Amino acid sequence: MEIDQVKSALLIVDVQNDFLPGGALAVAEGDTIVAVINELQEKFSFIVATQDWHPRDHGSFAANHPGKNIGEFIDLEGVRQILWPVHCVQGTHGAAFHPDLNTTKWRKIFQKGTNPKVDSYSGFFDNNRKGDTGLGNYLKNNGISRVFIVGLAADYCVKYTVLDSLSLGFESYLVADATKGVNLSPEDTKLAIKEMKNEGAYLIESKALF
Ligand code: VGL
Ligand code: ZN
């Protein structure tokens, strides 16, 4: 398909060391999407990225809830929260973008998960939908109505970013070979993709854009 540069954005979600092999919350084969994303970036003039950016006392970390384990659920200020390993702590190597990821063309980076009392999977809103990163308005103010979403993890931050993108009225495309899932349960990525499609997202392969 032809990319309409005036109205299209490439949105790169959380391609950070902690979500890559060797990281604190590693996505299997997460590193294989970096080259695909770099190739895709050559095709877009409007590129933005999100960055998971937690304070060390973040409420989503199991380590901050004595007696609780990774993978357990808690109630975090009224929102159901799965507990994660400590990851993407502000200013650490784990929170940095993969060293091979080209960041030179990015217009802006939207950081999320900065409020210790609520998690933020989506690049647009906190999980309680109260906090807003400003990404939606930024895209709209720049005339963007079509968003191509790539990155990590397909079954968490990418999924919720796609769903919020749709809810804000953006025509939303998930580039299937430029995302990978954590798969805490083996079917999670499959189910996430199904849910995104049900809500109106288009699933494409990067080769459709080359
Ligand atoms: C993510 C879990 C916790 C993600 C972020 O980027 O998908 N997942 N924080
Ligand atoms: Zn996180």
Take atom 6 of ligand 1 and give the residue whose Cα is closest.
Answer: 157
Within a domain: residue 89?
A: no
- Interface pTM (ipTM) of the complex? 0.98
Domain containing 174 equals 8-54+97-209
Within a domain: residue 1?
A: no
For residue 124, give the CATH number of its domain. 3.40.50.850
Take atom 4 of ligand 1 and give the residue whose Cα is closest.
Answer: 157
Q: Is 52 in the pocket of ligand 1 (CB under 6 A)?
A: yes
* Alpha carbon of 1 to ligand 1 centroid (Å): 30
Within a domain: residue 70?
A: no
Average pLDDT of span 88-112: 98
Within a domain: residue 79?
A: no
Beta strands in the chain (DSSP E): 8-13, 47-52, 73-76, 79-82, 106-112, 146-152, 171-180, 202-204
pTM assigned to the model: 0.98
Within a domain: residue 91?
A: no
Within a domain: residue 14?
A: yes
Domain count, the chain: 1
Cα separation of 161 and 121, whole Å?
A: 7
For 28-82, how does the pLDDT look when each residue is reduced to its tens digit (9 = 90+)?
Answer: 999 999 999 999 999 999 999 999 999 999 999 999 999 999 999 999 999 999 9
Within a domain: residue 36?
A: yes
Average pLDDT of span 180-203: 97
Within a domain: residue 130?
A: yes
